[in-house]
Structure 1
Amino acid sequence: MTPSATSSAPAAGTAPRIGFAAQVDHTGVEVDAGPPSSSGLRAGTELFTAAERLGYDVGYVRTRHLQDALSSPLLFLAALGQSVQRMQLGTAVIPLRFENPGRLAEDLATADLLLGGRLRAGLGSGYSAHDAMYVEAYGQMRGERGEHVDRVLHELLALLDGQIVSTADAHVEGVEPGTPLRVQPQVPGLRSRLAYGAAGAERAAMAGSAGLGLQLATMVPDDGSGRSFESLQLDVVEAYREASRAAGYGEGHVMVSRQMIPVTGDAELERYVSLIPRERAAAPGVSGEHRSLEIGGHEAVYSQIVLDDPSVVAQALIADPVVQAADEIVLVLPFSADRTDQLRVLESFARDVVPHLLAAIVT
C-alpha cells in the first residue's frame, strides 16, 4: 500500500491505492474542563493517525449537514494533516448543493497548501430529495437541483483554473489599479486532483470530460434490466474512461468503494452484523446485492456486503470486475461503529486482506 502518483487505468504490475472511508462526528463537545473541544473529532484524528501507521494510502471522510457527521470536512482535513504526514486525505463527497463556488475554491486551495498537495477532494450533487429543510440555513437553489449543481461545479472549476473575476480599482489594498483579480490562492495541479462522485453513466461521463477523477460508491441506479450491480457499475466506469480519453485526459482515475468486513470469530460476526443497515443484514456472511430506493428516491441497486473470514473477503474483492478495473480500492467502514471497532476492521483488512488482494491484482 504505497502512494501512487499515476492517474491512468491500472496496467499490469501496477498496484492500486488502498484507502478507507469513515464517518467522523463533531459530537461530544466539551466546554467545562477547559477550552472547547470535541471527543468525536479527537476519535477521528486518532483513527486516521492509526490508519497511516497501518500503511493506508488515502483516507476519506463523508460530509453531512444538520447532522452529527462532519459539516466542514476541509477544516478537519487541514488540521488532521498536521499529524498525518504521508497519507492522502479526501472527501467522499462535498455536496455542491450547499456550496458557494468562490468560497469553496478558496477553501480547497488553502487546505491543499496546508496538506502539501495531498488533498483528494471528492465533489457530488447532494443527498436528499427533500430540500426544504435546508433552505433556511443554505438558501434556495438556483433552478432544479441538477442545474444548480452543474452551475456550481462549472464556476468552481473555472475559478480553480484561474478565471479573471474582476479588475482591481483604487480601493483594493496592495494591488495596482487595473490588475486582473482571481480567486486566491491559486494552486497549480489542484484541479487535476479533484474527483466527482457519480452513480450513473451520464454523470460519470461528465466527470471524465471535465478531467476529474471518478468516485464510485456502493450504489448504482437500477436501469430495470435486472443486471447485476457489478455489470451496471462497469458501464459507469467505461462511460467515464471513454469520456476522459475523448477529452484528452487519458484514462482518468477511478476510485471504487466496497463494504467488506473481515471477521475472525462468531463474537465479531454477531457484533458487526448489527452495524449493517437492517434490510441488508438478514444473515451472517455474504449479504447479496440489494435493490431498493436511494436517498434521492430513485430505484437503485446496492453492492453485496461481506462479513466473513479474511480469505472470503479477499476472494470477493478479487472476483469483483469493478475492483479489477479500479485505480483505487476503498474500504467503507461501518458508519455506526465506534472507534475501537473501526480500528479493528482497519487492522484486519490491512493485515489479512490487502496482501492477498494485491498479489492477485498485481500480476
Structure 2
Amino acid sequence: MTAPAAESRPVPRFGLVAQVDHADLAGGIALFEDADRLGYDVGYVRVRHLQDALSSPLPFLTAAALHTERIQVGTAVIPLRFENAGRLAEDLATTDLLTGGRLRPGLGSGYSAHDAIYTRAFGQVQGDRTEMVNRVLHDLLRFVDGEVVAGADAHIEGVEPGTPLRIEPRAEGLRERLAYGAASPARAAMAGSLGLGLQLATMAPDDGSGRSFEVLQLEALRAYREASREAGHGDGHVMVSRQMLPMRTEEELEQWVSLIPRERAAAPAVAAEHAGVEIGGNPAVFSRVVLDDPMTVAHALLSDAVVQEADEICLVLPFGASAHARHQVLETFATDVVPHLLTAIV
C-alpha cells in the first residue's frame, strides 16, 4: 500500500491493530490474510494476560506470517512487566527468523493499578515498577545487540572453553524494528534516545492541564523526534493508531456502533475526545472515534496533527466485531480512504 514518495514527505505506511481471542485464532489468521491481500503494510496484535485475548503473541504471529506473503507482523504491545529479558530476546529473534524478517515488536510497560492479581503467575515486582521495566528493556536491547553474557566452560558441548557466549539466535535487522509504546513525553523521549521506534495509541496521560488529546500526543511525538535526533538516530519511526472506521451503508454502521465505547473508557455513545481511566487505572484523555463514510474518515485523519507527522497510520479495530464486519472495514479503508490520504499527504 505504498506509492512513489514526494520530496515533501515520505509516503506513510498503513496498518491495523486488532485483538485476537484464543477461541478464534483461525479467525485472527484470516484477518491477517485479508490485510495482506488488501495491501496493508503491517498488522499488530494486542497482548493481554489472564484474559481471553492473546497472551503469547509470538507463536500466533509466526503462524500469521506463514499464511501471508508480505505483510509485516507486530505487537502493540508486549508488556515488559511480565517478561524476562533473556528469554524474550531469544523468542523475538527466533520469531523474526521464522517470519523472514517481518517481525515489528512493540514493547511497553504493563499494567499497574491491579498488579497484585498477576503476582502468582508472574512473580512480584521487585522494587519500583518503572525501574523494573527499564531494567528489562535495557537488558533486552543489550542482548539483541549481541552483548557477551558469559564465557563457555568445559560443560558447553562443541564449544571451546572461554568462547564468548551471547543470546542466540541472532536476527539481522531486528534491533532497528523494535518500538516502544509510550504515552508521555518523558517515555517517548526515552524511546527516541535508545533508537527505538515509537508507538502512539488512542489515549494520552491526563496531566491535569485541560489540554486536548491531540495536543498532549503531539507533545510526546515531538519529544521523541528531538531525542532521537540528539542521540544520532535521525527522525526515528512513529506509528500512530486511530479508531476511525469507514462505513459504506447504515447496515455496516449498525454492526460497529455497539462496539463503541472501546477500551472500557467511554460512556455509551461517546465518540468525541474525552477523559477517562486507562487500563492501568490512571487518568487519561482518549482520542475521538469516527464511524462515518470514507470521505469523512479521510478528512478526520487529515485534520489530525499527530497523523500528519507520523510515519505509519494504523486502523484500530474494536474487539468483538464479526469476521465479516472486520473484512468490510479493512477493505473500505484500503480502497476508499487510503487513496485520499496518499493524494493529500504526498
Do they superpose with TM above 0.5? yes
Structure 1: gaps (5+ residues):
28-39
- 1:92 pairs with 2:92: no
Answer yes or no: is the 8 Å Cα contact 1:3–1:57 preserved in 2: no
- 1:24 pairs with 2:20: yes
Aligned to 1:143: 127
- Cα shift at 1:341: 1.2
- 1:269 pairs with 2:253: yes
Q: Deviation per CA, 1:186-221: give whole Å up to 9, x if none.
A: 223211110000011000000000000000000001
- Cα shift at 1:75: 1.0
- Cα shift at 1:2: 2.8
- 1:54 pairs with 2:50: no
Cα 1:104–1:321, aligned 2, differ >3 Å: closer, same or farther? same
Answer yes or no: is the 8 Å Cα contact 2:213–2:286 preserved in 1: yes
Structure 2: gaps (5+ residues):
none
Aligned to 1:15: 11
Answer yes or no: is the 8 Å Cα contact 2:29–2:63 preserved in 1: no
Answer yes or no: is the 8 Å Cα contact 1:273–1:281 preserved in 2: no
How far apart, in 1, do the equivalents of 2:116 and 2:324 lie? 37
- Cα shift at 1:267: 2.3
Classify the secondary structure of the residue corresponding to 2:172: coil
Q: 1:347 aligns with which of 311, 317, 331?
A: 331
Answer yes or no: is the 8 Å Cα contact 2:244–2:315 preserved in 1: yes
Answer yes or no: is the 8 Å Cα contact 1:3–1:17 preserved in 2: no
Matched ranges for 1:56-71 at <5 A: 56-71=40-55
1:50 is matched by which residue type in structure 2?
D
How far apart, in 2, do the equivalents of 1:220 and 1:156 lie? 26
Classify the secondary structure of the residue corresponding to 1:287: coil
TM-score under structure 1 normalisation?
0.91
**Would you say how many aligned residue pairs link Structure 1 and Structure 2?**
344
Matched ranges for 1:220-239 at <5 A: 220-239=204-223
Answer yes or no: is the 8 Å Cα contact 2:266–2:276 preserved in 1: no
Answer yes or no: is the 8 Å Cα contact 2:261–2:268 preserved in 1: no
Aligned to 2:2: 2
2:13 is matched by which residue type in structure 1?
R
- Cα shift at 1:128: 4.0
Q: Deviation per CA, 1:93-146: give whole Å up to 9, x if none.
A: 000011000000000001111111111000000134111111111111221210
Aligned to 2:234: 250
Q: Give the CA RMSD over aligned residues.
A: 1.7
How far apart, in 2, do the equivalents of 1:11 and 1:301 lie? 34
- Cα shift at 1:305: 0.2
How far apart, in 1, do the equivalents of 2:9 and 2:224 lie? 23
How far apart, in 2, do the equivalents of 1:337 and 1:269 lie? 12
How far apart, in 2, do the equivalents of 1:189 and 1:47 lie? 26
Cα 1:65–1:336, aligned 2, differ >3 Å: closer, same or farther? same
Percent sequence identity over aligned pairs: 67
Aligned to 1:126: 110
Aligned to 1:103: 87
* Superposed structure 1 runs of 4+ greater than 3 Å apart: 278-283
Q: 1:216 aligns with which of 200, 204, 211?
A: 200
Q: 1:306 aligns with which of 279, 283, 290?
A: 290
Q: 2:66 aligns with which of 75, 82, 86?
A: 82
Classify the secondary structure of the residue corresponding to 1:19: strand
- Cα shift at 1:280: 3.9
Cα 1:240–1:298, aligned 2, differ >3 Å: closer, same or farther? same
Answer yes or no: is the 8 Å Cα contact 2:252–2:325 preserved in 1: no
How far apart, in 2, do the equivalents of 1:170 and 1:119 lie? 36
How far apart, in 2, do the equivalents of 1:142 and 1:280 lie? 33
Classify the secondary structure of the residue corresponding to 2:142: helix
Answer yes or no: is the 8 Å Cα contact 1:220–1:232 preserved in 2: yes
